[in-house]
Amino acid sequence: MKVLMGPDPSQIYRPDGGKNKEDFRNYTSGPLLDRVYTTYKLMHTHQTVDFVRRKHKEFGGFTYKKMTVMEAVELLDGLVDESDPDVDFPNSFHAFQTAEGIRKAHPDKDWFHLVGLLHDLGKILVMAGEPQDNPDTKDPRYCTDYGMYEPNCGLENVLMSWGHDEYMYRMMKFNKFSLPPEAFYMIRFHSFYPWHTGSDYRHLCSPHDLSMLPWVQEFNKFDLYTKSEDLPDVSMLRPYYQGLIDKYCPGVLCW
């Protein structure tokens, strides 16, 4: 597939009186800064190689819960993302805002609309007692450009930090979601800002990774710039997205 870049949603879908593009992802000032700082400090403190491998074993069997995708969305009604400096409302609204932004810009790609709804569902980990998420910085095995990897090994062979996106990617694979490869890349790597925004880790990328990068970047625009205190009417949107769930990931799933 070729990525046909949509219009910048920071301009098209921002409500009147909303934020400017440069005001999003502000980590230097704002009322939520202390909460965000604490969350990221905990993430970077605990994300060692051993920690990630333990989490793969702990959650890799997907025995935590059985529920439908829409039931998972509804769980996010009770979750505010502590790592996000832009929002202080339940994460379920952000899921629908992202999905609707994608739907307007890419009306012919219904699977892409569904990715917008799915992308943060891994945050149900918080309900399992996981923090909204390092000693490895002193381990010589990891403190080179390549660390424990070979050049151009491909991101599928890289041990990603543990969090909602890695969990959701693995959950989708386990439950055999019938979505295209682009969708799995968007879910897995949408929080990997050093790669998709900072141009880091290119030395580990395979040609396939680089071909997927424009899709992740396209998704990222909607993830960031559709956030607004003007909350959608979820009851009006739910039937459309239930239809997509029934098409691509139906029934009761293992989480």
Domain chopping of the chain, boundaries: 38-249
What angle in degrees, to the nearest 10, is found between the helix axes of 181-189 and 207-225?
A: 60
Architecture of domain 38-249: Orthogonal Bundle (1.10)
CA distance 154 to 204: 6
The predicted structure's pLDDT at residue 47: 78
CA distance 226 to 17: 13
The predicted structure's pLDDT at residue 134: 46
CA distance 148 to 146: 6
The predicted structure's pLDDT at residue 157: 87
119 is in an annotated binding site: yes
How far is Cα of residue 135 from the mean position of the Cα atoms in its chain?
Answer: 25
Residue 34 confidence class, pLDDT cut points 50, 70, 90: low
Average pLDDT for the chain: 82
The predicted structure's pLDDT at residue 16: 43
The predicted structure's pLDDT at residue 3: 40
* 15-29, 71-85, 88-102: the lowest-pLDDT one: 15-29
> From the CB of residue 7, how many other CB atoms can be counted at a distance below 10 Å?
11
Q: ∠101-112-178 over CA atoms, to 5°?
A: 155
94 is in an annotated binding site: yes
The predicted structure's pLDDT at residue 4: 42
208 is in an annotated binding site: no
223 is in an annotated binding site: yes
Residue 27 confidence class, pLDDT cut points 50, 70, 90: very low
30 conformational bin, left if phi > 0, alpha if psi -120 to 50, beta if neither: left
The predicted structure's pLDDT at residue 229: 83
Residue 154 confidence class, pLDDT cut points 50, 70, 90: confident
CA distance 121 to 72: 7
Residue 67 confidence class, pLDDT cut points 50, 70, 90: very high
The predicted structure's pLDDT at residue 14: 40
**Averaged over 141-157, what is the pLDDT?**
76
